[in-house]
Every structure is written in structure tokens, then in C-alpha cells.
Amino acid sequence: MSKTIGGLLKQATAHLSTRGLENPRTDAEYLLAFLMNRSRAFIIAHPEQRVDSQLEARYTDWIAKRGRHVPVQYLTGEQEFYGRSFRVTEAVLIPRPETEFAVEAVLDLLQQHPDFSHAVDIGTGSGCIAVTLACEAPRLSLSATDLSPEALEVARENARTHNCLDRITFLPGRTLEPVIAAGNLVDLVVSNPPYIGYAERDVVAREVLEYEPAGALFAGEDGTEIIGELFSQAPSVLQAEGFLVLEVGYQQALKVKQLGQASGWKHLESRFDLAGIERCLIFRRA
């Protein structure tokens, strides 16, 4: 006879508990609710309901993968960012809530500068920054770059889903090179670049290290390699009054501010995330 929701949850939670996951019960409930296209509240309230064998087989597969620390977002294929659902695959970083601070910073700058109309997002990944900006600021046109063609495909799909594909030009290539080649000046450069140093590899969580793309995480020995390229290349594409908005790593802000100053940038403002970490830095040419 087919299993009940309650029986499956008990089995899955027991399995995940032995695998060193932080929230085995929540993961078990979330994944089953997702597969059943129901809320977590529904599955908690209906433990006696039977689950068909096809769905049970898919759930068992997902629970085995989750037991190997595959992030839930790579199983469900989606992550919420700034109130919208984004498709994610293993080709892209899973959008993080702290990146919403960079989006907020750009939206505030757009409000203060009604003449701004063109921005670029460097290392767009899933497209979460570029697509959100396009949706939130209808006057904006954007370019979004990434070294990874697979990531750009995912970003394009997200732009299509959120009806802004016509306002974002997706450009493959390294850092600002494709934007420089296109020859357009822009008002804003925003980036959540790879910023983890190889030296910090040992402290990166297993889920991140094993499953998220290394090219989205690491940037040289101390994590500032791509940020350094942005500082040196951005003057070629930014209008004189334009801004550079960067997300930076935990405990990296001071080093990035010094690097910026040494490259001719003035640090104007920082945004702190919910954990009080200096997460987003706003620069202008000194």
C-alpha cells in the first residue's frame, strides 16, 4: 500500500538527521510540500493522506540527494529573490538575501538621479540583480555579463519569465571587457562578483563548496582578483557622474575600500546586511 505523508516525513527526517544537516525536518517537509504542490502547513495538517508511488519515488530520490548535501534550491530548481521566483541550476550561484542590499542601493541611486537610464550587472549568474532592477525600474536598460554561457542561459530564462528580456542585453565575457567592446557609457556598474579567497576554502560550507560553481565563488588567493579588475576597468564604461556598487565578502570591506582608494575611487557609502556585516559598498571616481 502507498505511504502516508506522515510516514514519508518520518522516514526522510530520520535519514537526513544522520547526514549532518542543520534542519532535517524542515527540509523533509519543504521538499515534500514542493513535490505535492502544497504548502508546508497542508502537509503538516494531513499526515494521514496517502502519496502516490511515482511521487514517493521522486521524493526518495530527492531525500537521498539532500542527504548528500545537494542544496534544496538545486532540487526544486528555484529560489526567491526580492519577492520573485528565480530559476536556478547548478550552473549558477543560488541568489542570497544579502544581495538584495546591492539592489536596494542601486534603486536608491536611481531615485536620486532621475536622469540615469543604463546600468550593467557584472557576473549576473541567475540574473537576479539585473532582472530585479529591470522589473523595479522600468526606465532602466541593462547589460548583464558572465564568463559562463550556461549561467547566461539561465539569466535569459529568468528575464523572459519576468517579462524584461527586451531591456537586458546579455553579454558573454570576462568582467567589463564585453561592455567596453560594445562601446556604451553607463550610469551604474553593479556586481556581486566572486569574492572568496582560495585561502578561505576550508571555512566554506560543504554544500557551497561541493555544489555551487567554483567560478562563482573564488577570486584569487585573497578573493579580490575580480574586484581589482572592476576597479581598473569601470572608468572606461562609467559616465563621469556614475557609480560603482559592489557586494563584498564577510570581513572584506576594509580591504576593498583601500583597494578602491588606491585605484582612484572614493568610497561614498556602505550598506550593512541583517547580520550587521558591511556588505555593499558604493564608489564614485575620486
Q: Minimum Å distance from CB 196 to ligand SAM?
A: 9
5-64 residues in contact with ligand SAM (CB under 6 A) are none
Cell for 47?
499526515
**How many residues bind ligand SAM, per CB under 6 A?**
24
145-204 residues in contact with ligand SAM (CB under 6 A) are 145-148, 151, 174-175, 192-194
Q: Give the nearer residue to ligand SAM in terms of CB position, either 146 or 187.
A: 146
Q: Given candidates 51, 93, 133, 246, which one binds ligand SAM under the rule CB under 6 A?
A: 93
147: phi then psi, degrees, rounded to nearest 5: -70, -25
Specify whether the CB–CB gap between 195 and 227 falls below 8 A.
Answer: yes
Q: Minimum Å distance from CB 13 to ligand SAM?
A: 30
What burial letters (b/e) apply to 203-212, b meaning 16+ CB within 10 Å? eeeebbbebb
Q: Are strands 238-247 and 278-285 parallel, antiparallel or unpaired?
A: antiparallel
Q: Give the nearer residue to ligand SAM in terms of CB position, either 215 or 235.
A: 215
Which residue has 582612484 as its cell numbers?
Answer: 264
Q: Minimum Å distance from CB 151 to ligand SAM?
A: 4
Q: Give the nearer residue to ligand SAM in terms of CB position, either 60 or 89.
A: 89
Amino acid occupying residue 93:
L
Q: Minimum Å distance from CB 96 to ligand SAM?
A: 7
105-124 residues in contact with ligand SAM (CB under 6 A) are 122-124
Determine the Cα angle at 167 with ends 165 and 171, to 5°. 75
Q: Minimum Å distance from CB 113 to ligand SAM?
A: 22
Determine if 233 is a binding residue for ligand SAM (CB under 6 A): no
Q: Give the binding site for ligand SAM (CB under 6 A).
A: 92-93, 95, 99, 122-126, 128-129, 145-148, 151, 174-175, 192-194, 215-216, 226
